[in-house]
Each structure stands twice: as structure tokens, then as C-alpha cells.
Amino acid sequence: MVAVLVRTALRGLQSSAVTSVAAAGTIAIALVLVGAFALIAGNMQGLLQRFGEELQVVAYLESDIDAAAAQQMVERVATVEGVQEVEWVSPERALERLRESLGGGGLLEGLEENPLPASLEITLAPSHRTPEGIAILVEAVDGLPGVDELAHGQDWVEGYSRVLVLVRSAAVGLGGVLALAALLIVANTIRLAVYAREDELAILSLVGASRTFVRVPFLLEGTLQGAVGGLVALGLLYAAFIMLVPEVQYGLELFLGSQQPRFFAVGEAAWLVAAGAGLGMCGSGAAMLGWRA
């Protein structure tokens, strides 16, 4: 019986080539959109991470703290919740940086002695780059002996964490809209395909085919069309990836730094194909719901 159902499904695919190709094609296109989005979003993730790295809390130290004492403080601060990295910046290094940032001109030549204090540059773990994370850190560090003043760019964090939320929700939202659109389009297409074959289904039912006998081959067809659509989408995405990445490589480096843009891993690629198969099956299932013998 299973053999008959599978054979019926294969014959169905063959005998209605137009609708099968159309359905698989539509699924492929929908998945290309979703997949391209996933690729872009995935690679952007790294970019956001790097932006976040620039968030630092700087603890300016009192002038009588020497390197050894500073080293102790570094170790102490490193234990605070959410702290990822702590770096000690000596007054000399600080002046050097200021010079660099002012463009290397002779602007600070007139200074008789180094007015800049030593500092600790504290980097938060990504999960703590929020106003709350900063508050915890500030509370822990502010009272420490030897700490003169804390600079923590509260505004910056506010902005960063909000942008992060915004971008993430935009990504989730856009991804959701795309997935929903893909679902609707595929359901629509398969509904049309069922519609085009309504007579066939009606005849099968008239000669005594059970619901299972009518539906299972149809679901199998849909699933297969979807899987093929998924494979095609994967192929198209890979081809586009291979062709486009060298084109934009140079520009991408500005964003991603040394991080190479990456394609789907095998597991992710399998998910894409599975998503296609699932779409095809659900689309067929939904279309069959609308159909009554």
C-alpha cells in the first residue's frame, strides 16, 4: 500500500509537471529570500558584537597608584559580575593616545608635564552591555580605594543597547514577515495547484479512494516539491554567495574586520531544505483542508 501511495505521488508529480515546477519554484524563491536574510543577519551579528566591544567603563586612578598596585586592582575588578576584560593604561600611554587622536600635530608639545592620570579600561561581556550591567559595574568599582573618577558614557550605552534592541527586533520582525510571506505564498500556490487538479481528486474519490489514498500522495508530492525547492534555493544562495562575496569583500572588511563572511554550515543548510519540505507539506495539507470530496 505504501508503495502504491509513493508511486501515485511520483506519477502525480510527473503528470502535473506544470504545477509541480511552479510550486517548487515558488518555494525556492521564498526560501532564497528567507535564506538571504538569514545569511545577512547572521553575518551582521559579528558586526554588532564588534561595536559593543567599544563600550568601556574607564576608571581613572588616583595619581599615587603605581603599576604593582594597579595590577592588584585589575585582578580585583576582573572578578566583578559581567566584566570581560580589564586593561591598565599608564599615564604615558594615555598621553600618547591623546596625541594620536588629535591628528599627530604639535598640539600638545607645550605641556610641561603629563596631566593625564592612569586608568583601568573595563570591557563588559556582551550580555552585560546594558544600562543595568553598567550600573552593577559602577557600583562595584566606584567605592574601590585608588579609584578617582569613573567615566562610563551612560548615554552611549543607552544608545547602544537601544540600537541593539531595535536592530534585533527589526531582524526578527523582517525575518518573521519574510517567513510569513513565504508561507502564505507557498500555501497560495499549492492551493492553486490543488485547484488545477480538483477534477482528478474528485474522480479518485468517486472510484473509492479513501481520504488517505487521495491525501497522502498529495502530501508526499508537496513535501518533495518543497525539498526540491529548498535544494534549489540552497544552490542559488551558494552561487550568489560565491559570486558576490569577492565583489564586496573590500567593503565588508570595513564592517567585519578580519572576520570572513560565512555561508551556512551543513546543519543550517539541512534546515533550509527541511524548511522547504515542511513548507511544501504544510502547504499541501492546508490546501487539502480546503478541498472536500
Partner 1 sequence: MRGSGRRATHAGGESPIRLYHVSKSYLAGSFALHDVSLEIRKGEFVFLTGPSGAGKTTLLKLLFAAERPSEGQILVRGRNVGRLRESAVPALRRRIGVVFQDFKLLPRRTVEENVRVALDVTGTPPREARAKVFQMLKQVGLQHRRFHHPLSLSGGEQQRVALARALVNEPEILLADEPTGNLDPELTLEIMDLVVGASTRGTTVIVATHDMGLVERYGKRTIRLEGGRMGEDLQ
- The site partner of 172 among partner 1, its own copies, none (C-beta below 5 to 8 Å per kind) is none
**Spacing of C-alpha 121 from chain mean position:** 29
Within positions 212 to 231, which residues make up the interface with partner 1, using CB under 8 A? 213
Would the CA dihedral through 175, 178, 181, 185 be positive or negative? negative
Burial 127-137 (b: 16+ CB within 10 A, else e): ebbbeebbebb
> CB of residue 214 vs partner 1: minimum separation in angstroms?
9
Q: Is residue 15 close enough to count as binding partner 1 by CB under 8 A?
A: yes
- The site partner of 206 among partner 1, its own copies, none (C-beta below 5 to 8 Å per kind) is partner 1
List 11, 50, 162, 168, residue binding partner 1 (CB under 8 A): 11
Please identify, using beta-carbon distances, which residue of 5 and 286 lies nearer to its own copies: 286
Please identify, using beta-carbon distances, which residue of 10 and 98 lies nearer to its own copies: 98
List 5, 185, 209, 256, residue binding its own copies (CB under 8 A): 185
Smallest CA-to-CA distance from 130 within 162, 153, 152, 161 is with: 161
CA distance readout (Å), 177 to 22, 181, 190: 22, 6, 20
* 293 Cβ neighbours under 8 A, 6+ residues apart: 201, 202, 205, 211, 214
List 49, 210, 249, 260, residue binding partner 1 (CB under 8 A): 210
258: how many CB neighbours lie within 10 A of its CB? 5
List 254, 258, 266, 292, residue binding its own copies (CB under 8 A): 254
Q: What's the length of the chain?
A: 293
Please identify, using beta-carbon distances, which residue of 5 and 94 lies nearer to its own copies: 94
Q: Is residue 293 close enough to count as binding partner 1 by CB under 8 A?
A: yes
Q: Is residue 178 close enough to count as binding its own copies by CB under 8 A?
A: yes
